[in-house]
Structure formats: structure tokens, C-alpha cells
Chains A and B, each alone.
Chain A
């Protein structure tokens, strides 16, 4: 009986307890940052005999870095074609029909495990009134070459963690830095992956019909010095320890390590150095603790939020 009474008392207090609910930490991050993990068809290109399905995460192309997967089908049998070779070019048709391209993998790589061709494209702009995007593909099946072209829609990237920036380096070349991973950072240590692409000299140009335009290549042997900060004035130029600069991996992308001490707005301040260690872009951010003042940023930086 007494135990029952205690139980009732307990129950009573349980009802009272916990005035403020605890933060659902995991859910909060997911809410802020949409995470896409499924590849869905985002575009279809047709040649006379084949259909090429282009897949992207969430079935959408976004400004910035996009992994893409291609599947080639025979139009008659509707079966996947083995041994297809695809050369891929994204083209932006700007005002006055001005043509340009963006960083991408020209020759698609066959992934035998999952039976598709894979590559990437880094869209420098979204589709809007000033310009639209198209894919052009050269397909080689059993020695027969065919071409296909298709307009595609590129949308704004809502996830700031996949931000990109383009700038002119001190070597007078155009560069693009695009964040590749993590899509959804967490507090603590994150492996930070980015692509650095440089516009090649105008001598090396890609032909497209009658027009030519410069192409981008992965920058080789560069270093991206990393200094993450919270720019919010109340954070007083807060930084984090144990970060690692980004260096190039075998697959051509750049990898480093970033520690986020809390959720919120962060700025990744970069200094880009070439193979010889010469600074091509970026400035040092002061270490001063400046509460109440918006944090200073490097001339080369990307803002992220999670």
C-alpha cells in the first residue's frame, strides 16, 4: 500500500518534472540541413538508338558540386548497355548565346560493382533568365559514335555546406573551390572534402560546334590552409582546435579536417597555395577575441551552416 502511495507521489512529480524539454540534438541538425543519399533520375538524353539516364542526388542538379551517375539503355531492348563509353560536357548558354562550361569529369568512369558510369559536375550558376544549362554527350557503343544533347535545370543549393566560390588567383587564373563533403556536418571532427578547379590557359580550349571555350581542370598539388571561425558578433571570432589543412588525395579532390565546436554559422577561411607554396588567394584572419564585433573573414572563404 505504501509502495503504491510512493508510486503515486512519484507519478505526480513526474508530471511536474522537466519544465523545458531537452534539445533533440540529432533531429535539430537534420532539420537545418537536408541530407540526400538517394540518386534519382534528373535528366534523360536520347540518341537514335540509346537512352542515357543521368542520376543525381535527390533527382536534382544544384549549383556547386554534383556527383552524377549515367546509365545507358538500348532503346529497343530496354536493357542496360555494357561497355558504353561516354564523354560528357555541360554547357552554359548565357546571354547573347555566349557559351561556357564548368568543372566536370569529361570521360565518365565505369563503376563495375554497381554497373553505371560515374562522374561529377560543378555548376557555377543556377539556371535563370541570364543563362541555361545543357548536357552534351558523346556515346560510343561497339565502336559506333552517337551524340545527344539535352537542356537541364540547375537549382540553387540550399545547403550552405555544399557552397562554392569562384575567384581570380594571383596567378591571373580563374579558380573554383566547391565543397563536396560533409553534406551535413556534425559538432566535432569532420572530414572536409573540396574540389579545387583552375581554368586552363586559353590555348587549351574545347570546341563546341563553331564556338570554343576554356576548360577547367583539377588543380594539382595545391594546399588549402584552413581556419574555421564563427562570424557571429556574439561569438567574438571563436575558432576551434585540431583542424587540418586540405591536401590533394589520389582521386584529385582535396581533404582536410575541420572541428566544429557547436552548431550555427561557421566561416571556413582559406588560404590557397600552389605546388610551389606560393599564396594565390586568401588572407590571414586575426586571432583576437573580439566579442561584439562581426568576425573578420579571409578574402577567400566559404560560409557554412548546420
Chain B
């Protein structure tokens, strides 16, 4: 839906533009610009109900579909529909980026910052296949881009805050300039945090982080209907602790760039054509020197470089609209492991954990919406992609899979269809999808990648079959002026589901590990997600909201799959009075009954957290200011969730303060 909104926004922009051209009266144009701004405001802002200044991870966590594997306080791995990042496409404005860490210490979401994003679009299932093949769906982070204005305008936001538990101090600033011909956006942010303390007030060592992020975007209007835009994000994280892992991060850096050309069309079917070239490079260096318990010193650097092209057109005729997209990218992922012997005089030991793996993808995708009547709509579409992999040093992969193909071509088709119906106060939706995905670099070509969760070394298999997903989803909602209730379910039947299974061959390489697991395909796995939402306006300025989510997943033998969220709930009260607002929420998980010992899980007990916050908004001299103070985990509960790597305890009571200034 959100995608469609954005799309409609673009179309509106296009149409209005056309209009402005024809009439050519300045007053009209001004009105048009105002309307465009309204469209932009309809997007969800990067903040949660509870907290005004959040990290990207905290923001994502507020979505029903997203859960997280946490290895510390930084760079959480987002699970969409309870599926790991291999199964979803995570993009920035449709650009593909791949983390450079074999241990998933750097999901793409760790390379952006809230002040260079405008919103994050989460699309569930095959509907999210616009940017590339997926099973779980897509997470597309939309960068901020200020629209052209008729008068020169400057605007800026400065946010700062302190969180007491881990002494996190952050400063985020962004500045935008917009004119008739030229637009510039810039942002800078710093975050520094120390170790956090758990609910027993014990310090969790190695949980600190330091992040610096800056971004710049420049747009130039060539003529009334076309513009070019260049963007760059630079992100640097240094000295980041991962308490759940046997090593930390010394340094990771990302440079994410793109150059785009956009053209609007006045007449005809074609409304917008948007083309973008992009380049991004990530380097990631782990550090185990601060862990005296480590027997071996290892260097584990990783690099990931991606070039790509993305071109899309929007078509509209009458009550039919369509989006067509061409995606091309090439990624090279390299990860090394150098082990130092105890006697440093002796020769080091070296292996590639990602043996220079090239991935090329070319795909066309299409998404259509047809308003069959004023209260019903069909959504349908699909994609066809070609995925190519090559392992430069295939000899590493041949050790476990003699004769495996060095190059592998895969065709990745995808189809989806849905129907939405609105009858009076009821909304109904039903849909289905079918899609393939190719194994990830680790699943296909990973070599002795140590997983500290189940303590196995993982080996990829280049000849794994495509994972094939069959999916059904449905939703029902009821809305009145004061209340709303809704339910959404989805069900995935995934053939050739890729998981790691114990190999009888070989012996571990990493000294902490207990054995070797190879990525293999299960015959199938099944996954069911349910989310219930309700809201009720108790008073005009007192709102209640509640969410209940449940998921269940089994493999082909009826066994449980790991990292599936148990029954969990969130309920909150929001109160507003004039410039003052207050919020309290309770959230928690029930105990994880359906855990998976096979994958290193144990029973995680239930927990409940209580959070409160209060804010005050005021203006002075043309500035808008917002102050907020609050507490997360107010009762200092000692807990860890089902998806906390190594069951590390989560943060105890955290008092946070923040302020935001904007003009």
C-alpha cells in the first residue's frame, strides 16, 4: 500500500507539474508545491510512538513484520516475516548493497542513519520483488530528498540526546536547501555509546559502539520536466563491541553513491522515467584482540563492492497504473581469514571464507494496480531475474563439494496477485505469490563461517537449488471514527528451504566450534505469521493501541525452525494535551515454547517491559523545538529474547532524553 501511495504521489507530482506548465501562473504553482509537501508528510516519519530520536534499528523494530537477531547493541539483523536477511531484499532507494561481514555483523541497515532517511518501506512477500528476487519481502530505505521549490528555502534539523544506561550521546544534524533549479541535502551524525547494563545492573562488556555518518544529495533541474540528482552516504563505525560474538568490530566503512536522472511526461501513458547508476563499497574489519579468552588471533577482513543500474517507469491510464523496473547489479564479496599461530615466528594460516564471489543479477519486474471499482482493487505483477554466481577460488568450495560448478546461472521468476475490497467500514484483502530466490553468498560459497549461536562452522554449497516460495496472505479490518481493529495473516510454503545441517565430513577450523554444518536444502519448510492490531480513542486526546503477533514455523519433519518469534504483544496509551504529550507502553514476549534445540536454541522465558515517555513542544524565533524524556524497561527487568544471540541479556532500565530543533 505504501508503495502505491508513493507511486500515486509521484503521479500527482507529474500531473500537477503538467498543469503548472499549461497554466503558467505563479499562484497556481505555489498551491501545487504545497500539495506535494502534503504527500510527503503522509509518509511515516522515522520515529516510534514512544521515542522521538531513534536509531534505524529501533525504528524498524516498531513494525509488526520485523523482528531482530541481536548480537549486541549495534547493527541488529532485521528478520522480515521471521526470515533472515538472505530471504529478503534490503535496499536503499532500490539500490542493492551487501554487507561485508560473513558473521552478519553489518546488515545494510547499519550503514544508514535516521537523519538521511525519509521513510522505510516494508513490503511483505512477493509484492516486494520489485527490486530483486525475494521470499520474505523487501525493506527499502528511502533517502531524504527535498523537492524543488520556487523560492529559495533553507531548512534544518538538529537532534541531540543522551541515554543514561549506556551513556549514549548522539548528535544528528541535517540541512537542506531548495531552489527552483537546485536542491541540496546534507546530514552529519555522531553516536557514541559505552557498554550497557542489564537488568541486574551488570555491565555487558563489549557492547559499546561509535558511529559516524554523513550524507549529501544534490539535485539540479535541467528543465521543467527533468532533473538529475547525485547522492552519497559515507558511514563509519569504529570500535563496536559484539558481546554475543567472540570478536568485535574494529572498523567498518561504507560509501554509497548514486547518480540519477528523472523525467516526467506531460501526456500519454508514460508518466515518470527514473534511471539511476549506483556504486557502493563496504569494508569490514573484525577485531579479536580485546578478547583475552581467544586462543588464536585471527584477522577477518571482508569487502563488498556493488555496481548497479536501476531504471523504472510509471504508467497510468484511467484506473490502471503500472510500474516497470529494470534492475542490474554486480557484487563482489571477499572475506578472508588469517590465523596467527601461538608461535608468531611460524607461518600464518590463511583461507577465504568468501572466495571472491561475484554475483550478477539482471531482472525486470512489474507491479500493476487496477481499480476495478471505487471500492475494490486488483494488484498483480511479477518479475523475472537472471542470477549469476562465480567463485574465483573455487578450490575452497571443492573441498566439501568436489566438482561443484564454479559458475552458476539461475532463473528467478516471481508472480503475485492480490485483491482488496472495501465494504462500508470493512476492509478485506487476499493475495498469493510464487517466487524463487538464489542462495546467498554464504549459503552458496561460504567456507568455515563460524556461527557462535550453535557453535558450528558453516560450509556453503554452490549447487544448492533455488528456494521456491508459495505464499498466501489475507487481511481483514474494521474501522470506525474512534476505533479500528485488523488482522493480517500470511503463510509461506518454502520448497528447498536452505538451512545448515551437521556434516559427517571434516572437522572444525575455528577453535570454539564443535563441528561442521553444511548448507543444505530441506524438502520444504512452512511459516505462518499472524498480526492483530487494534486502536481505540478513549478520549479525544487519549489513544490506545494494541498489537499481538504470533508466528509458527516447521521443517519437513515437523521440527521447529530457529528464530521464530513467540506470541508477543505490545500495548500503548498515548496522551496529548496542547504542547505536552505522554506515552506509556507495555510489550513483551510469551515464553518460546516452540524452540529449536537442533539450531542451538533453548527455551527463552517470557518477559514484560514497561516504557514511559513525555514530551514538550514549543517554538521560539521561528524555531520549533521538542524535548523528550523517558524510560525504557522501567522496572529494570532482566531478560533476553528468543533472538538474542547467545542469550545475552538485554539492556536494563534506560532513561533517555532528547531534543530536536528544526526550522
Contact = CB atoms under 8 A, between A and B. Distances in A.
B398 interface: yes
Interface in B497-547: 503, 505-509, 511-512, 514
B350 A22 contact: no
Contacts of B346: 232, 265
Interface residues of B, number: 53
B623 interface: no
A262 B299 CA distance: 14
A76 interface: no
B228 A236 contact: no
A264 B350 contact: yes
A260 to B, nearest CB: 8
Contacts of B348: 263-264
Interface string B269-298: 000000000010101010000000001100
A22 B336 CA distance: 8
A261 B395 contact: no
Interface in B395-409: 395-396, 398-400, 402
Contacts of B514: 289
B599 to A, nearest CB: 20
A146 interface: no
A234 B402 contact: no
Interface string A5-18: 11001100100111
B349 A189 contact: no
A188 interface: yes
B404 to A, nearest CB: 11
Judged by DSSP, the binding face of A is loop
A18 B305 CA distance: 11
B341 A13 contact: no
A9 B257 contact: yes
B36 interface: no
A156 interface: no
Given A9-B216, A265-B346, A239 B402 contact: no
A5 B255 contact: no
B257 A10 contact: yes
A91 to B, nearest CB: 36
B303 interface: yes
Contact of A17 (B253, B301, B509): B253
A186 B355 CA distance: 14
A19 B236 CA distance: 12
A5 B230 CA distance: 9
A187 B303 contact: no
A230 B349 contact: yes
A6 B257 contact: yes
B303 A13 contact: no
B505 A235 contact: no
Contacts of A264: 339, 341, 347-350
A238 interface: yes
A262 B336 contact: no
Nearest to B294: A234
Interface string A239-278: 1111000000000000000010111110000000000000
A263 to B, nearest CB: 4
B216 A262 contact: no
A241 B400 contact: yes
A18 B281 CA distance: 9
A211 interface: no
Interface string B336-353: 111101100011111110
Contacts of B218: 2, 5-6
A25 interface: yes
A289 B508 contact: yes
Contacts of B470: none
A265 B347 contact: yes
A241 B339 contact: no
B183 to A, nearest CB: 11
Nearest to B258: A6
A261 B234 CA distance: 36
B61 interface: no
A299 interface: no
A20 B300 CA distance: 11
Interface residues of A, number: 45
A23 interface: yes
B580 interface: no
A189 B395 contact: yes
Interface string A161-196: 000000000000000000000000011110000000
Given A19-B285, A264-B348, A292-B511, A240 B506 contact: yes
A234 B511 CA distance: 7
A5 to B, nearest CB: 7
B507 A6 contact: no
B253 A19 contact: yes
Interface in B69-101: none
Given A18-B303, A262-B509, A187 B334 contact: no
Contacts of A300: none
A4 to B, nearest CB: 10
A25 B511 contact: no
B575 interface: no
B337 to A, nearest CB: 7
B313 interface: no
Interface in A3-60: 3, 5-6, 9-10, 13, 16-20, 22-23, 25, 28, 32
Contacts of B396: 187-188
Interface string B253-271: 1010101000000000000
Nearest to B218: A2
Contacts of B259: 3, 6
Interface string B201-234: 0000000000000001010100000001010101
Nearest to B339: A234
Contact of A20 (B230, B285, B507, B508): B285
Contacts of B503: 241
A305 interface: yes
B352 A25 contact: yes
Given A238-B508, A289-B508, A263 B281 contact: no
A262 B508 contact: no
Interface in B240-254: 251, 253
Nearest to B348: A264
A233 interface: yes
A116 to B, nearest CB: 34
Nearest to B219: A2
Contacts of A5: 218, 230
Nearest to B508: A289
A28 B393 CA distance: 14
A287 interface: yes
Contact of B508 (A2, A16, A236): A236
A65 to B, nearest CB: 23
Contacts of A289: 507-508, 514
Contacts of B342: 232-234
Interface centre among A1, A3, A187, A234 (most CB of B within 10 A): A234
B506 A262 contact: no
Given A22-B303, A242-B400, A28 B295 contact: no
Contacts of B506: 239-241, 261
Given A189-B398, A242-B399, A262-B339, 11 more contacts: A2-B230, A18-B303, A23-B350, A233-B295, A234-B511, A241-B505, A242-B400, A259-B399, A261-B351, A262-B350, A262-B509
16 contacts: A2-B228, A3-B259, A5-B218, A5-B230, A6-B232, A16-B253, A18-B303, A25-B393, A188-B396, A233-B341, A234-B296, A236-B507, A238-B509, A240-B399, A261-B448, A262-B339
Give me the 9 closest cross-chain CB pairs, A-B, nearest first: A188-B395, A264-B349, A241-B505, A262-B351, A234-B296, A291-B511, A241-B506, A6-B230, A13-B255
